[in-house]
Amino acid sequence: MKKFFTIASALFLATSLSAKVVYVATDGNNSNDGSTWDNAVADIQKAYTLANAGDEIWIAGGTYVMTDGSALLVDMKDQVNVYGSFQKGDASIDARIRPDAVNKPYEFANPTIFTTEGVTLSQRPFGRSNTTDEWVGFSDMATSNGKLLFLQTGVTMQNCIVKNCGGTEIIVYFEGNGLMKDCLVEGCYSLGSDKTKFYAVRVCASATFKKINNVENVTFKNNKDGSSLHLYNYAEGNGRSYVKNCTFDGNTNYCLAFKNDGASTPVLVDHCLFENNKCATAANTVGEGVVFTGNSASAVAITNCIIRNNENTAAATADSKNAIIALNGGSMKLVNCLIHNNKSNRLNIYVAGHMINNTVVNNIGSVGAATKSMGDYINNIFVNNTPTEGNTVFTADSESNIEFIYNGIAETDITIANDNAYADYYISGIDASSFVNPTLTAGLVTNEEAANADFSLAASSPAINAGLWNYDGYDAYPELYVGYIDGTEIHDEAVAAYQKDLAGNIRVEDGKISLGAYQGAKTTSDIENVVLDNRSAIVYGIAGAIIVETEEMTNAFVYDMTGSLIKTVTINAGSNTISVAGNGLYLVKVGNAAYKTIVK
């Protein structure tokens, strides 16, 4: 099996202006000066010797084979930007062709590929610089000595593919102030003896650099061993780290693992999709949950995620949770999530902190709040779940203190096993008819059935306006802050997530809130009514299209997430449907106003 890393766009974006471009091509020659495509050098090693801070390296498409030996080590340099996937002769970065920039921003028509052609290297193919805080580089490719790409501080890795790569510890490692965006991480695996201590991507706010890292619009697919993405924050007062708009599909490992020590960096996980992930978790590892796993002493908020068709195949044991979701820290929160058709031999969900406004339907596996849990379960829906341990929902030890109120569940489906826990206000009568188009059975279903399901609330659902919105005197959950920076509560994006439901509807209307992940219809706009030239316009996404409602005839311009114009449409007064090719984030300009919307 080949191990390769595809450079597909701006690997690393430094802040300095470009002074010159050094060109690399498979038919280049290292006796050249790299000043033009005709004078291209043959490899990135040579290009780095010719580049200085502020320069760029452009690499033509093709395969570049890395081999063992003393000449292998590449001495990376600070603030040198690297771009790949050019056709020889391209005069600009924008000239490169991407067949499907919306759905596959990492895929180029003429990819640059670094590979070891199946050979496991004994050393790192790329070295790293420690000379400044702003370090640009990547290291190790199918190697036996640790990290494959070591991105120390201030690095943006964008539009890249990391595929079928092996290592003993970590494939991609961000140590501080990094951003991974619009990438694919697929088929990565461990070469180490302890495969549980392997990470396809690890982001670490270290005590040395005290800077956070963020991950946005990355697809993690078919990765094996350890964790696909691991967040390890142990620095204090650094802002907050986020994971947004990511997809985890078909992985046979822990998808997203947390290990945040002390009063460390708060984390927001928002609008991510987890499906078809399957593994057998074991006790005493990083947390025992297929989708989310681990512990956090700092605030972790998981909001607006869809979790479906995932399976934990481990046998039920007394000392292991073997869950789909395992959030062990009391400061961890699960809000506005749709969790359906997952299967576990023991627990579907284990949340020791807050669980608010989630829809939990058609799963095989119990919901357990046990072992010194301290938190609140509020405004959730639990329907047609098959318990595998105890009851559908249960608390199990005398040291737990869970308040379980205003949830859509039959009173007989919850067991309170200690005097400290509290349960009240059961909203009964919620069943399959309460949803617009639910899946038909509990447990795993086909991908098509899962994707076509609609768990927003039917007009007759008893879950509508049945929730509690001012719990303990708080309005619309402002108490669910992400954390503190220098003694100041951090609300910003996290609170915005709590103010709206999974479809982007305003959460509290006329002082009322519904149960579950949806306040209103699944396709309701995620952008408010906005005045446009003294008239109103509404823009929102539905499956395969963008809806524009306006009171006047005008033009609409649709841009993909890269900022490329993909459609110009004349729209009439009323409702207009603009078809788009794929899911994702779009920017729409209507008249003189700009909007953003998500097509799911």
Longest CA pairwise span in the chain (Å) = 79
d(CA 455, CA 87): 46
Contact indicator for 295, 329 with CB cutoff of 8 Å: yes
High-pLDDT (> 90) share of the chain, %: 29
pLDDT of residue 133: 30
Query: Of the ranges 62-71, 77-86, 445-454, which is most confident?
Result: 445-454
139-174 burial, b at 16+ Cβ within 10 Å, e below that, comes to bbbbbeeebbbbbbbbbbbbbbbbbbbbbbbbbbbb
d(CA 103, CA 586): 11
Contact indicator for 272, 248 with CB cutoff of 8 Å: yes
CA 553 to chain centroid: 38
Global pTM value: 0.82
Q: Which token pair is 595? A: 């909007």
Instruction: Look at residue 168 and tell me whether its pLDDT is greater than 80.
Output: yes
H/E stretch holding 593 reads strand 593-599
pLDDT of residue 141: 46
d(CA 256, CA 250): 13
- Band of residue 98 on the pLDDT scale cut at 50, 70, 90: confident
Contact indicator for 592, 532 with CB cutoff of 8 Å: yes
d(CA 31, CA 14): 28
Q: Which of 151, 23, 16 is nearest to 79 (CA)?
A: 16
Overall average pLDDT of the 277-282 stretch: 82
Overall average pLDDT of the 175-198 stretch: 87
- Mean pLDDT for all residues in the chain: 79
Contact indicator for 9, 159 with CB cutoff of 8 Å: yes
Q: Which of 331, 325, 278, 328 is nearest to 305 (CA)?
A: 325
534: left (phi over 0), alpha (psi -120 to 50) or beta: left
A 10 A CB-CB count for 282 gives 14
